[in-house]
Amino acid sequence: MELIALPFRSRSADFEHAPPVWEDDALAIVDAPEFLDTSRENLEGVHEPPPAIECRNVTKWFGEFRALDDVSFRVDHGEVVVIIGRSGSGKSTMLRCINGLEMPSGGEVLVDGVRLANDQYVLRHLRERVGMVFQSFNLFPQYTVEANVVLAQRIVLGRGPQEAAAIALQTLERVDMLRHLRKYPANLSGGEQQRVAIARALAMNPEVVLLDEPTASVDPELTKGIMELVRDIADGDMTVVAVTHEMGFMRAAADRVFFFEDGRLLERGSVDRILNAPDHPSTRRFISDARLLE
């Protein structure tokens, strides 16, 4: 065993006559709670893994128009966040900035601690980790349902044809679309297209799923099925950020709600608080207009 020289010992006046401090003793001393400041604040950024998503002062300009204005937030791993707000408030732009489809004009976005940049390696990191389901499906019209789900797995994740096909079948079964494998998107209903879009995102086994009004283009009957599917996803350990005004989903699956207005993240909080006791009059007005109150 080696003698461990501890700085607080070496300053001791009777150092020469002090009994030796052996490794085990030293470890016991250093491990003792009074020697360690384990407060969350002290450990932040040192021992804790980075959050799944972090936005720091994100601003986005489209010409003279500011679509996002100084937005900052963190989303933890496994957390489910719902974004609400009026049309044009910046919800889709926010999601597009998180998955690198738009680059912020100011501030920064970090996914799993990696800062987004217009760089092929960073964007690859992002594509491997973040799946997105768009407001308007965005399926490839020239490919069948099956090929739509296989393609990104092959290109982005480099999966072999057999593995990608097997995973495509599994995920399409999960969204009840096995019957439509050989169809093209144009021959599917809105709800069916959306289920394929969800399968395509899930087949990538993403850590983060971004959903942009997954039921916007779907009739009310299909909305329920899709939201149940999204709820299944949110129940797992994936991090989910969903733009949706579906109350059932919010109540059952969301951890927090963010309210956007004019590009700003005006208010955030638990589902219960935001829906029932919002601080800001704008949030209150929006919720009552949108009839989100029960």
Q: In this structure, are residues 146 and 165 in contact, taking their beta carbons and an 8 Å threshold?
A: yes
- Which secondary-structure segment (H or E) carries 223? helix 220-235
User: What is the torsion angle, in degrees rounded to the nearest 10, for the CA atoms of residue 92, residue 96, residue 97 and residue 103?
Assistant: -120
Report if residue 88 touches ligand ATP, rule: CB under 6 A. Answer: yes
Dmax (CA) for the chain in angstroms is: 88
Closer CB to Mg ion, residue 86 or residue 183?
86
Query: Is the backbone of residue 53 left (phi > 0), alpha (psi -120 to 50) or beta?
Result: beta
Does position 100 bind ligand ATP by CB under 6 A? no
Out of 92, 148, 282, 283, point to the residue binding Mg ion (CB under 5 A). Answer: 92
The minimum distance between CB 243 and Mg ion, in angstroms, equals: 6
Q: Considering CB distances under 5 to 8 angstroms, the limit depending on partner class, which of ligand ATP, Mg ion, none binds residue 62?
A: ligand ATP
Q: Which stretch binds ligand ATP (CB under 6 A): 72-80, 91-99, 175-183, 285-293?
A: 91-99
Assess 8 for contact with ligand ATP (CB under 6 A).
Answer: no
**Per rule CB under 5 A, is residue 99 in the interface with Mg ion?**
no
Residue placing its CB nearer to ligand ATP in the complex, 91 or 180:
91
| Cα–Cα dist 283/83, whole Å | 12
Say if CB 107 and CB 70 are below 8 A apart: yes
Considering only 10-18, 84-92, 251-259, 266-274, which stretch makes contact with Mg ion by CB under 5 A? Answer: 84-92
225 binds ligand ATP (CB under 6 A): no
Judged by CB under 5 A, the stretch of 27-35, 90-98, 149-157, 194-202 that binds Mg ion is 90-98
What CA–CA distance (Å, rounded) separates 81 from 20? 55
Q: Among residue numbers 108 through 167, which ones bind ligand ATP (CB under 6 A)?
A: 135
In whole angstroms, how far apart are CA 38 and each of 6, 31, 34, 77, 79?
Answer: 20, 11, 10, 21, 24
| Positions that interact with Mg ion (CB under 5 A) | 91-92
